[in-house]
Amino acid sequence: MLVSDFDFELPESLIAKAPLPHRDGAKLLCVARNSLSDRLVTDLPSLVQPGDIWVVNDTKVIPARLIGQKQSGGKVEVLLLEPLGEDHVWAAWGKANKPIQVGTIVQFSETFTAEVLAREGKNIEVRLHSTHPLQDVGQAIEACGHMPLPPYINRPDSEADKQRYQTVFAAHKGAVAAPTAGLHFTPELMQAMTDTGATFVHVTLHVGPGTFQPVQVEDVATHIMHEEAYIISQEAADSINAAKANGQRIVAVGTTSLRTLEAAGQSGKLIAGTGRTDIFITPGYTFNIIDALFTNFHLPKSTLLMLASAAAGKEEMLAAYQHAIAHQYRFYSYGDAMFIPALKQANTNRV
């Protein structure tokens, strides 16, 4: 299987650079077996099957993009990735005109700095330090940081992004990219879906920047997937396992929810707990937990498009993308949505 098999031409005009006025105002392409139908996200209540479990990712995006200066005056951008134990040491990506040297002090504000402890390419480790009497390091990140918008949204982040590049159910800080399928949901839409038979269950996967990184190889089998941390509560695992045993449909809201469930459900039964996953799902994969997928439209040649192709079938998915382009759907994080109500390959012998 080649990465080029998942390529397509997308007009620049169809890349959504800003959210719609209303979260649930997007178009929705339903990709059923041998048929496509153009709907709206507000039609989701009519697509619910009684007993459905809709699984959402409740990770919360942190304002992880910090912009500062070296003592020499040179501009430095630091993208925080995840904390490394205690003492406010973080793994990060660093960007500057000249290579960032170990020992460099980056000033983000008069009272907030980072010391570079290690570097390998763009990967750095930094120790954050706040001297503000009323502001700890976490508060300093919130005050100085920018929302880490994807690279294809080539504009500065705005105040509106702090709210709109975050799901309404975001609860646990740790993501540096939003679980974008969840951006379409409002409390009112979720209530309407609940009224027609859906139950919402939360899991957490802290989305990393690797989700936007291009695949650098041509042979799909040789790609090394990025790793992300997840949390599944016992309550969530029990709910999903009971529903699965009862024949109810498990719907993953977004590829991050899907990866979490499949990573922790390889036996056919979802295991509660914390962990890290680098699961790489491509066409031919047999799904163990989920039965349906709600997702956005993804980058050409991306691992997320491969995952969606595993859910619907590669040829079916590429045909759906061509339909979406012809019908002026909006693509990527702030774009329109797709619903796959029945997977191409699901394990029907699950506990």
Q: Where are the domains of the chain?
A: 3-61+161-340, 65-145
Mean pLDDT of the chain: 94
DSSP 2: B
C-alpha span between 25 and 44 (Å, rounded): 12
For residue 14, give the amino acid letter.
Answer: L
In this predicted structure, what is the pLDDT of residue 34?
Answer: 82
Phi, psi of 181 (to 5 degrees): -60, -30
In this predicted structure, what is the pLDDT of residue 345?
Answer: 67
Cβ atoms of residues 312 and 340 within 8 Å: yes
Residue whose C-alpha is closest to residue 168's, from 73, 316, 56 = 56
User: What class has domain 65-145?
Assistant: mainly beta
Under the phi-then-psi rule, with left for phi > 0, alpha for psi from -120 to 50, and beta for the rest, what region is 273?
A: left
Residue 210 has pLDDT above 80, yes or no: no
In this predicted structure, what is the pLDDT of residue 151?
Answer: 87
Residue 349 has pLDDT above 70, yes or no: no
In this predicted structure, what is the pLDDT of residue 161?
Answer: 96
pLDDT digits (tens, 9 = 90+) for 218-242: 988 888 888 899 999 999 999 999 9
C-alpha span between 300 and 3 (Å, rounded): 9
Cβ atoms of residues 147 and 61 within 8 Å: yes
Confidence of residue 351 (pLDDT cuts 50, 70, 90): very low
Confidence of residue 212 (pLDDT cuts 50, 70, 90): low
Arithmetic mean of pLDDT, 23-27: 97
Arithmetic mean of pLDDT, 22-47: 96
DSSP 168: T
Strands, E assignment, 5-46: 27-32, 35-40
As a CATH number, domain 3-61+161-340 is 3.40.1780.10
Cβ atoms of residues 298 and 320 within 8 Å: no
In this predicted structure, what is the pLDDT of residue 346?
Answer: 63
C-alpha span between 177 and 91 (Å, rounded): 15
